[in-house]
Amino acid sequence: MRYAHTVEQVRAAEGALLARLPEGALMQRAAAGLAATCAGLLAESHGRVYGSRVVLLVGSGDNGGDALFAGARLAARGARVCAVLLAPEQAHRAGLAALRQAGGVLTEDQRDGCAEIARADLVLDGIVGIGGRGGLRPGALPYVRAAAEADAAVVAVDLPSGVDADTGEVSGEAVRAAVTVTFGTHKPGLLVDPGAEHAGVVRLVPIGIGVPPPAAEALQHADVAALLPRPTGESDKYRRGVVGVAAGSARYPGAAVLAVSAALHGGAGAVRYVGAAAAAVVAAHPETLVSEGSAQGLKQAGRVQAWVVGPGLADGEDAVRTLDQALDAALDPDVPLLLDADALRLLARRGPAPRPGLLLTPHAGEAVALLAGAGVEATREQVEAARLRYARQLAELYGCTVLLKGSTTVVAGPDPAGPVRVNPTGTPWLGTAGSGDVLSGLAGSLLAAGLAPLDAGSVAAYLHGLAGRTASLGGAAAGAGGVPAGVGGEGPISASEVAAALPAAWRSVTDRA
């Protein structure tokens, strides 16, 4: 698991350690790790550290101090290091002295600074770290833009300047890094878009701080493998879990086919289907149980260990009746219930209806409707820009687990003190019609197999992201979690291909565990 902590948590942990250590010791640990990463990158790009050109963007706090001490270490190995001081009067004194002593040079002239950046092999962003408030200030913009245009690899110190450490929000422009070297623990803003996209590959340098329970966490392969259900010799279909899918309509039969397809690949023992697209579902997946009397509703469908309600239901009378049955105690309240797509828009009209085992899986547009249903106004853009905040708020308002789909999918449980799960897998190619139906079928299957809503949602998002990458790479096995999406070799995919790639994604996780 990757754990992330808020600035407040990091400050508290740092304070306890600082009292016990000699002055500057933590910064030296941070700078040593930072310099080692930079040296590795220079060796890859330039062949060696000696003679390479390094520019340090140095702000007014300790983030700039880290950059200066790391720069001094690189200068001592023969790199030509130039520090660009954004706030010369406040720049870290000891760091400046160390850099000068190692042969580095300083400038505060904007034109010189930009010219140095244009010919650099590496740029270190030490403008601002966890002490940053608001977006980048105007004085930093010319340098940040020059770095974006240069060939140099940009390494962010602790986090890319301009990204909010706690939320990943970016107001205005922010540094775009190839690599972020972060200290002590991950920050939530490094795991969730838009911050994650600015951070590039994130490397953690342990500096010995002890941290409390995390504010956010991201599953890795081993965590997912441990959570995935495994049938035993004793398992029959009921022990493995039967998932009920109430989805599709005469207008949208495909949503039902996709949700059932993913549910069949999600580890449950069987899938029961209820709805108006039975013929299409059975034609595509003859193993689906379409029970007699299904037209009368969910209760008559037979024994089910979790329900998925919503994809392609449309908003007619049937859809309203189906949601009413799902929520109004027609179902055993102990049976987990996943609501997606049309069911979410209908739920938004009713407002919060807390129920045990409830998992909502909105995208940003559906989240806006749900927020409005609980009396909170927000735009789609606001939700996209502050995913952690809105996922938490929805979970609290609706008293349930909320999986907010999007560029970074996040899953928040109803306990505001619990960590939010942030999904590290995926590809922008997953933003395709029907992709959400696959995710909800898969998550429903995992609920039926006995996973708690937070686990079912986050494991489903993880596998769905891996399957999306596998499909977009043309079937080649996708990399491990944490690899940034959108790298070369990927191409367009359909939701059917994502569903078909789920078994390969599953195996890639369990094979490596």
Ligand X SMILES: NC(=O)C1=CN([C@@H]2O[C@H](COP(=O)(O)OP(=O)(O)OC[C@H]3O[C@@H](n4cnc5c(N)ncnc54)[C@H](OP(=O)(O)O)[C@@H]3O)[C@@H](O)[C@H]2O)[C@@H](O)CC1
Instruction: Cite the annotated binding site by residue number.
Output: 62-66, 125, 129-135, 158, 161, 255, 312, 363, 405-409, 436-437
How far apart, in whole angstroms, are the C-alpha atoms of residue 70 and residue 63? 11
Least Å distance, CB 132 to K ion, is: 8
Between 150 and 404, CB nearer to K ion = 150
Interactions with K ion, residue window 75-134 (CB under 5 A): 125
Q: Please give the residue ranges that form the binding site for ligand X (CB under 6 A).
A: 10, 14, 26-27, 30, 59-64, 66, 127-134, 136-137, 157-158, 183-184, 207, 209
Binding residues for AMP: 405-409, 436
125 binds, among ligand X, K ion, none (CB under 5 to 8 A by kind): K ion
Beta-strand relationship, 401-404 and 410-412: antiparallel
The dihedral region occupied by 477, where left means phi > 0, alpha psi between -120 and 50, and beta the remainder, is: beta
Residue number of the CB closest to ligand X reads 129
CB of 167 or CB of 305, closer to ligand X: 167
Of 135 and 450, which has the nearer Cβ to ligand X?
Answer: 135
Q: What are phi and psi of 234, to 5 degrees?
A: -85, -10
- Interhelix angle 453-472/502-512, nearest 10 degrees: 110
Which of the choices K ion, ligand X, none does residue 132 contact, using the CB cut-off of 5 to 8 A by kind? ligand X
- Residue numbers belonging to the annotated binding site for K(+): 63, 125, 161
CB of 499 to K ion, least distance (A): 41
* Cβ-based nearer residue to ligand X, 111 or 133: 133
Rounded least distance, CB 408 to ligand X, Å: 22
Scanning residues 136 to 195, which ones bind K ion (CB under 5 A)?
Answer: 156-157, 161
In the complex, least distance from residue 78 CB atom to K ion, rounded to whole angstroms: 25
Contact characters 336-365, K ion, x per CB under 5 A: ------------------------------
* Residue 158 vs 166, nearer CB to ligand X: 158
Give SS3 for 223: helix
Alpha helices in 176-316 (DSSP H): 188-191, 195-199, 221-227, 237-240, 253-264, 278-284
Residue 478 interacting partner from ligand X, K ion, none (CB closer than 5 to 8 Å by kind): none
Residue 30's binding partner out of K ion, ligand X, none, with CB under 5 to 8 Å set by partner kind: ligand X
Query: What string of DSSP letters covers 339-364?
Result: E-THHHHHHHHH-----TTEEE---H
Residue 61: contacted member of K ion, ligand X, none (CB under 5 to 8 Å, by partner type): ligand X
Cβ proximity to K ion, 127 vs 498, nearer residue: 127
Place of tokens 């992201």: 465
- Can you say which residues are annotated as belonging to the binding site for (6S)-NADPHX? 62-66, 129-135, 158, 255, 312, 363, 437
70 is in the binding site of which of ligand X, K ion, none (Cβ under 5 to 8 A by kind)? Answer: none
Among all chains, which residue has been given the structure tokens 């897998």?
425
Q: 59 is in the binding site of which of K ion, ligand X, none (Cβ under 5 to 8 A by kind)?
A: ligand X
Instruction: Give me the least distance between CB of 64 and ligand X, in Å please.
Output: 6
* Residue 116 binding result from K ion, ligand X, none, given CB thresholds of 5 to 8 Å by partner type: none
Asked if 81 and 105 touch (Cβ cutoff 8 Å), the reply is yes
Give residue 190's region: left, alpha or beta (phi > 0; psi -120 to 50): alpha
User: At closest approach, how far in Å is the CB of 202 from ligand X?
Assistant: 14
**Intra-chain end-to-end CA distance of the chain, in Å:** 13
26 to 19, 37, 38, 161, 243: CA distances (angstroms): 11, 17, 18, 20, 52
Neighbours of 171 (CB within 10 A): 12
Give me the residues paired with residue 243 across strands: 271, 306
Nearest distance from residue 88's CB to ligand X, in Å? 13
> How far, in Å, CA of 290 to CA of 93, rounded?
73
The residue (of 157 and 260) whose beta carbon lies closer to K ion is 157
User: Widest CA span of the chain, in angstroms?
Assistant: 83
- The smaller minimum CB distance to K ion, of residues 160 and 267, is found at 160
Burial of 257 (0-12, 13-18, 19+ CB in 10 A): buried
For residue 465, report the phi and psi dihedrals to the nearest 5 degrees.
-65, -45
CB closer to ligand X, 185 vs 393:
185
Q: Which residues does residue 180 pair with via DSSP β-bridges, in sequence order? A: 156, 202
In terms of DSSP H, where are the helices of 192-252?
195-199, 221-227, 237-240
Query: Residue 192 CB, nearest distance to K ion (Å)?
Result: 17
Q: Closest approach of Cβ 303 to ligand X, in Å?
A: 53
CA 321-324-326 angle, 5° bins: 110
Shortest distance, CB of residue 134 to ligand X, whole angstroms?
A: 5
- Contact of residue 357 among K ion, ligand X, none (CB under 5-8 Å per partner type): none
Closer Cβ to K ion, 42 or 147, answer by number: 147
Q: Which residues bind K ion (CB under 5 A)?
A: 125, 156-157, 161
